[in-house]
Amino acid sequence: MKMHFDVVIIGAGIMGASLSYYLTKLGLKNIALCEQGIPPGNGATHKSGGFIRIFHENEWYTKRAVESYDTYADWGNKIGGSCGFKKTGFSFITDSTRSDQLRANAKKVNRYCSQVSVLSPDEFQQFQPDFSLEGIGAIVYEPNGGYADPAKTALTFIKQSEKKGMKLLEGVKVERILHHRKKITGIQTNIGSIRADKYVVANNIWANFLLEELGLRLPMFKKSIGLGFIEWDKEKSVSHLTSCIDETIGTYFRIFSNYRLLFGVQMSHSGALLQDRSYLDYGDMQIAKEKLVGRLPLLHKAEYLGSRLSFDSYTSDGLPIIGVHPEFDDLYLMVGFNGSGFKIAPSIGLILAREIFHNERMAELNNTRMERFNKQSPI
Ligand SMILES: Cc1cc2nc3c(=O)[nH]c(=O)nc-3n(C[C@H](O)[C@H](O)[C@H](O)COP(=O)(O)OP(=O)(O)OC[C@H]3O[C@@H](n4cnc5c(N)ncnc54)[C@H](O)[C@@H]3O)c2cc1C
């Protein structure tokens, strides 16, 4: 096969999908999106929890979440179709030792979004009566938070960019990135070689297998993330339940569908041991559920419905690796989303699309560039 594109994107998770959408929106039609599996792929995206929130303790994430929020909330008009967004409100719960810090962070977030406020446990209970208040110091609350459907979101981005000319190459595994000195000369895939003017590595932790060929290694590590599902007594309505991260019990949860709740499960095994599995141990789910019942006593009779196990790529400073590569000016990176990529994907796709389209470094990506790892820290 002989193909030549303006841009080839490797990986059709939420990041590759968002980038392909915004590139075509900017007017680049001759682009290809390679996915080894069936979109939205074999990675984190189709197993993601899909939480949408503005509040982050890191300013860079807050800004990207604010930029992305309007797209999620008005998906039909802005992108077309549905991303499954549900506004449930979002709460970040902490204990009394962290309350002051949380208040200070919420104030910083208010520079970008006035909807985020800090509530006392009593104020919170007025509209969330099912919560036990034990151990709660303060709650950051945002009424507009919620969740969306990550698979639907990625597929809509893909569908809309296909309409504008993007070529989706499904079941196409990029086996090698070819180069001559500091120029990428093509990619080798299971259906032949493909050439492009620019190449984007958006394939999560797998990026390092491909980049080895170029003598590159991104400082990322793989971390497992587990989710459990339970169903509660159908006579009890909890449709008003806020989506929540609860630091005090070390988990997060949200409504999944009628009478079903999705919750975060910490694993007792290391990621390496679990790499070929997509389900969780019962014991780990039990521990997480016990903590959850402490917070939401109405769940004490809830029954297990299943689990999900996946992973994301993490970096030492918690920020992703995005932007043109410092050594190869036709190679772009879009990886390392630290378990937080879904909610910021629209903003990241747009910013990187601009960097590629205009051939100009975007200031928003200054903190996320690969170069930050090369800086010598003073001894
Ligand atoms: C269980 C779980 C819950 C999460 N919950 C949330 C949440 O609530 N909110 C939030 O914001 N974030 C959440 N995240 C994080 C978020 O889902 C990820 O950051 C995001 O999905 C990463 O997207 P990606 O496109 O970078 O990677 P992926 O979705 O992993 O996509 C990479 C794609 O590249 C493909 N690929 C790999 N190698 C090749 C190759 N050689 N050739 C072709 N294709 C290739 C893979 O098949 C894969 O489809 C969660 C993650 C997990 C695992």
Atom of ligand 1 nearest to the CA of 205: 30
Using alpha carbons, select from 95, 124, 119 the residue that is nearest to residue 106.
119
234 with 276, same domain: the answer is yes
pLDDT at 66 over 80: yes
Residues 6+ apart with CB under 8 A from 115: 54, 142, 143, 144
Q: What CATH number is attached to the domain comprising 96?
A: 3.30.9.10
Q: What is the mean pLDDT of residues 174-179?
A: 97
Q: What CATH number is attached to the domain comprising 182?
A: 3.50.50.60
pLDDT at 303 over 50: yes
Question: Which residue among 21, 34, 42, 177 is best mutated to probe the pocket of ligand 1, counting the most ligand atoms within 8 A of its Cβ?
Answer: 42
Q: How far apart are CA 254 and CA 238, in angstroms?
A: 11
Q: How many domains does the chain have?
A: 2
Q: For the chain, first and last CA: distance in Å?
A: 52
Residue 334 domain boundaries: 3-48+150-219+317-373
pLDDT tens, 92-149?
999 999 999 999 999 999 999 999 999 999 999 999 999 999 999 999 999 999 999 9
Nearest protein CA to atom 47 of ligand 1, as residue: 42
Q: Is residue 228 part of a domain?
A: yes
What is residue 307's predicted lDDT score, i.e. its pLDDT?
A: 95
What is residue 233's predicted lDDT score, i.e. its pLDDT?
A: 77
pLDDT at 330 over 60: yes
Beta carbon of 37 within 6 Å of any ligand 1 atom: yes
Q: What single string gives the DSSP state of each residue in 196-244?
A: EEEEEE--GGGHHHHHGGGT----EEEEEEEEEEEE--TTS--TTPPEE
Beta carbon of 369 within 6 Å of any ligand 1 atom: no
What is residue 272's predicted lDDT score, i.e. its pLDDT?
A: 53
Residues 6+ apart with CB under 8 A from 59: 108
Q: What is the mean pLDDT of residues 303-308?
A: 94
159 with 209, same domain: the answer is yes
pLDDT at 2 over 70: no
Ligand 1 centre from 107 Cα, in Å?
31
240 with 289, same domain: the answer is yes
Decide if the complex's ipTM is over 0.90. Answer: yes
Beta carbon of 53 within 6 Å of any ligand 1 atom: no
234 with 327, same domain: the answer is no
pLDDT at 266 over 60: yes
Beta carbon of 267 within 6 Å of any ligand 1 atom: no
* Amino acid (one-letter) located at 103: R
38-49 burial, b for 16+ CB within 10 Å, e for fewer? ebbbbbbbbbbb
Nearest protein CA to atom 3 of ligand 1, as residue: 48
pLDDT at 277 over 90: no
What is residue 229's predicted lDDT score, i.e. its pLDDT?
A: 96
Asked whether 304 and 256 are in contact (CB, 8 A), the reply is no
245 with 133, same domain: the answer is yes
Q: Which two tokens stand for residue 123?
A: 């104020």
Asked whether 319 and 62 are in contact (CB, 8 A), the reply is no
Give the end of a domain, one of 294, 315, 336. 315
366 CB neighbour count, 10 Å cutoff: 12
Atom of ligand 1 nearest to the CA of 15: 25
44 with 90, same domain: the answer is no
Q: Is residue 54 part of a domain?
A: no
295 with 325, same domain: the answer is no
Nearest protein CA to atom 51 of ligand 1, as residue: 48
Q: How far apart are CA 351 and CA 364, in angstroms?
A: 7
229 with 310, same domain: the answer is yes
Give the end of a domain, one of 295, 315, 335. 315
235 with 139, same domain: the answer is yes
Q: Is residue 197 part of a domain?
A: yes
Nearest protein CA to atom 12 of ligand 1, as residue: 340
Asked whether 282 and 130 are in contact (CB, 8 A), the reply is no
pLDDT tens, 189-241?
999 999 999 999 999 999 999 999 899 999 999 999 999 999 987 767 666 89
Question: Which residue among 9, 337, 338 is best mutated to probe the pocket of ligand 1, counting the most ligand atoms within 8 A of its Cβ?
Answer: 337
pLDDT-derived band of residue 379, with 50, 70 and 90 as boundaries?
very low
Residues 6+ apart with CB under 8 A from 175: 187, 188, 189, 190
What is residue 378's predicted lDDT score, i.e. its pLDDT?
A: 47
* Amino acid (one-letter) located at 313: S
Question: Which residue among 173, 193, 206, 344 is best mutated to probe the pocket of ligand 1, counting the most ligand atoms within 8 A of its Cβ?
Answer: 206
Asked whether 223 and 314 are in contact (CB, 8 A), the reply is yes
